[in-house]
Amino acid sequence: MTNLSVIMARLLEAFQLNCQLFLLTLLFALPLGLVVAFGSMSRFRPLSILTKTVVWIIRGTPLMLQILIIYFAPGLLGLGSPWKAGTGGRLFAATVAFVINYACYFSEIYRGGIQGVSRGQTEAGQVLGMTKSQIFFKVTLLQVVKRILPAMANEVITLVKDTSLARIISNKEIIMMAQEYTAKGLIWPLFSTGLFFLAFVGGLTLLFNWLEKKLDYFRA
Amino acid sequence: MAILEVENLYKSFGQTQVLKGINFSLEQGQALAIIGASGSGKTTLLRCLNFLERPDQGVIRINGKVLFDAGDPATQREVEIRKKRLNFGLVFQSFHLFPQYTVLKNVTLAGELLAKEQSGRKAAQREIEEQARGLLEQMGLSEKVDAYPHQLSGGQQQRVAIARALALRPNILCFDEPTSALDPELTGEVLRVIRSLAEKKTTMVIVTHEMAFARDVADHIIFMDDGVVVEEGCPQDLISNPKEERTRQFLSRFSNESTWKQN
Ligand SMILES: Nc1ncnc2c1ncn2[C@@H]1O[C@H](COP(=O)(O)OP(=O)(O)OP(=O)(O)O)[C@@H](O)[C@H]1O
Ligand SMILES: [Mg+2]
């Protein structure tokens, strides 16, 4: 019995790293994705080509590879590793990789959402004397949010599960923790990590359903 | 003096010349109808007036003052274009109401944003809302102030769009085929509203395919073809007695009885 509660407590503790990575990624990738989206929609060709190329590379290669490269490449290329030794540095490196990766995915979702809102909406704002930013924040944004919500829900749920990839550079997240017990011949801790993910994803699903309901009052 | 003068307006999209030297003027309190075949450049002309397109050549004057001169970059600064636009209102063919806002908010939003920039916020807010309610009543939409656009018929949506454009008190209100996107049985209510605006001496430019409406409501009419003004004059004369062959050909398409019945 004590064994069970001790192991569950340790798994929960490890899961905090997953949660941390999840929240940090959202915190930075959500706004960064918007910047990337505007970059790829820019009328300044070199900028849009550059941005689209970066997005293509990031979306076209495994996140796991990106984590490894971001963590090891600077040091091995003789540039000096920017990551501090220890757990903090490893989490930081993983966060950077996740933020870049997810910003690119979000940017494509944003782009589709923004381009999907009719030109007429922008023009209606323009002829009413609104500024570009007023049009974006007061007219377009909520319509974009409504349009992209289902795709964002998918992506965010994928992010929850992807956080376990951070163990590739020895971040002790929940699955890595459970594997310590697998090595000692215990399989149930590994199974129970699934429950953590299921609970988290379940909560998110409820949240997104609620949000979609909230925006159900208009058609975009 | 004319409130609006358009002089020698040219506009191309790439290789396609759409406007090829448009000239006309409009007096305060008058309604100008613009008719012409599809592709003749009517929408492009309205979009130029509203600064949604930038003419390649030409001058636009309001009350004798140069508002836009293609040859003078000083008249084309981005910041001022925003203010200059407010001389005009534009009612789109397909309404373009803001779907996430109530009818009332659709009408007040732009005014509120302008007031916020100019300070005096709270007092202005009440005034803006009262004015909007007044306009919506005038449009026969008092009962719909709290509805959302998707809950309205096309005719109702277009009337909201008219109220929204009027709320900023433009000098000149432009309509781009305001009834073309509507079911036939809904055009009447929108045309009636425009007719009542004409009776109140609202200065208007109306692009329309409703010939009877143009004939009865407009003070002056322009027939456009292929990017030029082919013929203009008093609506009765031009429609019943066109001088140009092209005008005659165009009008002959509308010769069946139903087009001419009163709305
Ligand atoms: N943004 C654009 N890019 C390229 N061509 C355009 C653009 N806008 C309009 N055109 C072209 O300009 C011509 C005139 O278009 P416009 O919409 O002004 O005609 P219209 O008189 O309003 O016609 P309709 O009665 O069908 O509304 C058309 O041949 C159209 O294809
Ligand atoms: Mg048109």
pLDDT digits (tens, 9 = 90+) for A123-170: 999 999 999 999 999 999 999 999 999 999 999 999 999 999 999 999
Q: Which residues in chain A (90-129) have CB-CB distances under 8 A to chain B?
A: 118, 120-121, 123-129
CA A200 to chain centre: 15
Residue A210 touches partner B, C-beta closer than 8 Å: no
Interface contact flag, B90 A138, Cβ < 8 Å: no
Global pTM value: 0.89
Q: Which domain holds residue A140?
A: 3-214
Min CA distance, A194 vs chain B (Å)? 39
pLDDT for B119 equals 73
In this structure, is residue A119 part of a structural domain? Answer: yes
Query: Is pLDDT of A209 > 80?
Result: yes
Helix (H) or strand (E) holding B174: strand B172-176
pLDDT for B37 equals 93
Q: How many domains does chain A have?
A: 1
In this structure, is residue A168 part of a structural domain? Answer: yes
CA of B95 to the centre of ligand 2 (A): 14
Contact B179, B210 (CB under 8 A): yes
For A44-82, give the DSSP string. Answer: SHHHHHHHHHHHHHHHHS-HHHHHHHHHHHHHHTTS---
In this structure, is residue A219 part of a structural domain? Answer: no
In this structure, is residue A175 part of a structural domain? Answer: yes
pLDDT for B259 equals 55
Residue nearest to atom 5 of ligand 1 (CA): B13
The terminus-to-terminus CA distance of chain A in angstroms comes to 54
**Average confidence score pLDDT of chain A:** 94
Which residue among B52, B98, B99 places its CB closest to the CB of A127? B52
For chain A, give the DSSP string. Answer: -HHHHHHHHHHHHHHHHHHHHHHHHHHHHHHHHHHHHHHHH-SSHHHHHHHHHHHHHHHHS-HHHHHHHHHHHHHHTTS---SPSSHHHHHHHHHHHHHHHHHHHHHHHHHHHHHHS-HHHHHHHHHTT--HHHIIIIIIHHHHHHHHHHHHHHHHHHHHHHGGGGGGGT---HHHHHHHHHHTT--HHHHHHHHHHHHHHHHHHHHHHHHHHHGGGS--
Q: ipTM, 2 decimals?
A: 0.92
Residue nearest to atom 29 of ligand 1 (CA): B39
In this structure, is residue A194 part of a structural domain? Answer: yes
pLDDT for A83 equals 85
Contacts with A53 (C-beta within 8 Å, 6 or more apart), sequence order: none
pLDDT tens for the 263 residues of chain B, in order: 799 999 999 999 999 999 999 999 999 999 999 999 999 999 999 999 999 999 999 999 999 999 999 999 988 988 889 999 999 999 999 999 999 999 999 999 999 999 888 876 666 889 999 999 999 999 999 999 999 999 999 999 999 999 999 999 999 999 999 999 999 999 999 999 999 999 999 999 999 999 999 999 999 999 999 999 999 999 999 998 999 999 999 998 887 655 555 55
In this structure, is residue A184 part of a structural domain? Answer: yes
Mean per-residue pLDDT for A15-19? 97
* Distance (Å, whole) CA A88 – CA A172: 11
Maximal CA-CA distance, chain B: 59
Residue A30 touches partner B, C-beta closer than 8 Å: no
Q: In this prediction, what percent of chain A has a pLDDT beyond 90?
A: 90
Mean per-residue pLDDT for A49-62? 97
Query: Which residue carries 């030794």 as its tokens?
Result: A85
pLDDT for A79 equals 83
Q: Closest ligand 1 atom, CA of B13?
A: 4
Contacts with B33 (C-beta within 8 Å, 6 or more apart), sequence order: B206, B207, B208, B214, B217, B218, B220, B221, B222, B235
A57 pLDDT band (50/70/90 cuts)? very high
Question: How do strand B57-62 and strand B65-69 relate by DSSP bridges?
Answer: antiparallel
Residue A142 touches partner B, C-beta closer than 8 Å: yes
pLDDT for B261 equals 57
Q: What CATH number does residue A82 fall under?
A: 1.10.3720.10
Which residue among B86, B96, B148 places its CB closest to the CB of A120? B96
In this structure, is residue A220 part of a structural domain? Answer: no
**For A170-196, how does the pLDDT look when each residue is reduced to its tens digit (9 = 90+)?**
999 999 999 999 999 999 999 999 999
* Distance (Å, whole) CA A12 – CA A35: 35
pLDDT for B125 equals 87
Q: Collect all residues from B whose CB is shorter than 8 A from any CB in A.
A: 50-52, 82-83, 85-86, 88-90, 92, 94, 96-100, 109-110, 113-114, 148-150, 164-165, 168
Contact A101, A202 (CB under 8 A): no
Rg (CA), chain B: 19
Positive or negative torsion for Cα A96, A99, A101, A103:
negative
